[in-house]
Amino acid sequence: MEFNSSSPKTISVVSTFATPFDNNSPPVNGTLNSQTRKPIALWPGMYHSPVTSALWEARSKIFERLLDPPKDAPPQSELLTKTPKQSRTSILYNFSSDYILREQYRDPWNEVRIGKLLEDLDALAGTISVKHCSDDDSTTRPLLLVTASVDKIVLRKPISVDIDLKIVGSVIWVGRSSIEIQLEVIQSAKEGSDTSDSVALTANFIFVARDSKTGKAAPVNHLSPETQEEKLLFKEAEARSILRKRKRVEERKECENGEVNRLEALLAEGRIFCDMPALADRGSILLRDTHLENSLICQPQQRNIHGRIFGGFLMHRAFELAFSTAYAFAGLVPYFLEVDHVDFLRPVDVGDFLRLKSCVLYTELENPEQPVINIEVVAHVTRPS
């Protein structure tokens, strides 16, 4: 896919057992050009899902520039104005014809592994943000773009692993140094049917731009919506940005005011389990009894092109721990509904000790036939040495 392409093309995903650099694989843009390009296997960041490999291969010129920026290059001097269409990118999973790819994404219930899909969503959102922020000038230093948060991920219907899948995304809003990308996972209702494609999952990623030399916030290119739908998405995203800022202020005020009384009431209820368990509610358990935990050392194979641990990998591990917690708590296979929000508070480096802790925060029993379980996962990063 050409970087400056005005019309979005679909990047085809292949299994990682059939690398895009094999002689039998179809070339990108009609030419392999292996003599002048550095193979993906030699790039920093070896943790590549089939989608990250396809994206990085299709964007090889962009990412090679990120890996080897010009020395003492100046920052971008003039901001450009781009349209959502210029950043729109889609990727296609050929599940129906690629058996190996299908097996890489299959879960025990013959659906797509949501945790693995989260990696791909983060990789695609990152590519889209790079595409929007590039100034097409190889003499300026590229921006460092990092995932700041995920606003919402909503699963609208189960995603089959036997039917072809497509992810489409584009930039829908920009601030001074932040970018919001909306992604849609699309899958036909039935393989081979004539029905129109339907959206199975939506996700909104927030990226922030940093100067790759100073580490300070850097301005990004402007966005000019063209269609009515793009203008509506821009307006909605701007409202969410204002709401996020307002919510942070309100949460601090709540903790300072009446929130203390509510917490004291909850703690008093919990004390009954500790002091007088015979009198405790048999339909409740202590929050600490729902805890699950994973610990790992962050390996070099899990790093991204900037040398930090890939955010999609962290979301993958957090999701699977949350799923296991819900499974153990309910005693039944849970059905994923949505991720409320993901916040990346600090970068994770190779060699860091990562500890993920999960617990059931609360349950909703409005519909006894379909109770809702809310799980929180917190990742603690440290260096024991």
Residues in Cβ contact with 378 at an 8 Å cutoff, skipping those fewer than 6 apart: 356, 357, 358
Tell me: the pLDDT tens digits for 135-173? 876 677 888 888 999 988 999 999 999 999 999 999 999
Which listed CATH number (3.10.20.30, 3.40.109.10, 3.10.129.10, 3.40.50.2300) goes with 290-384?
3.10.129.10
Q: What parts of the chain have a pLDDT lower than 70? A: 1-9, 15-50, 52-71, 137-138, 189-197, 248-263, 266, 269-270, 272-283
Residues in Cβ contact with 199 at an 8 Å cutoff, skipping those fewer than 6 apart: 156, 184, 185, 186
Domain segments of the chain: what residues?
1-17+40-257, 290-384
Which listed CATH number (3.55.40.20, 1.20.1250.20, 3.40.640.10, 3.10.129.10) goes with 1-17+40-257?
3.10.129.10
**One fold for both 1-17+40-257 and 290-384?**
yes
| Radius of gyration in angstroms for the set of CA atoms belonging to the chain, rounded to a whole number | 23
Single-letter amino acid, residue 124: L
Q: What distance in Å separates the CA atoms of residue 322 and residue 311, rounded to the nearest whole number?
A: 17
Single-letter amino acid, residue 375: I
Q: Which two tokens stand for residue 318?
A: 């957090």
Rounded-to-10 torsion of CA 99, 100, 102, 106? 130
Residue with tokens 């641990």: 309
Q: What is the pLDDT of residue 348?
A: 93
Q: Model-level pTM?
A: 0.81
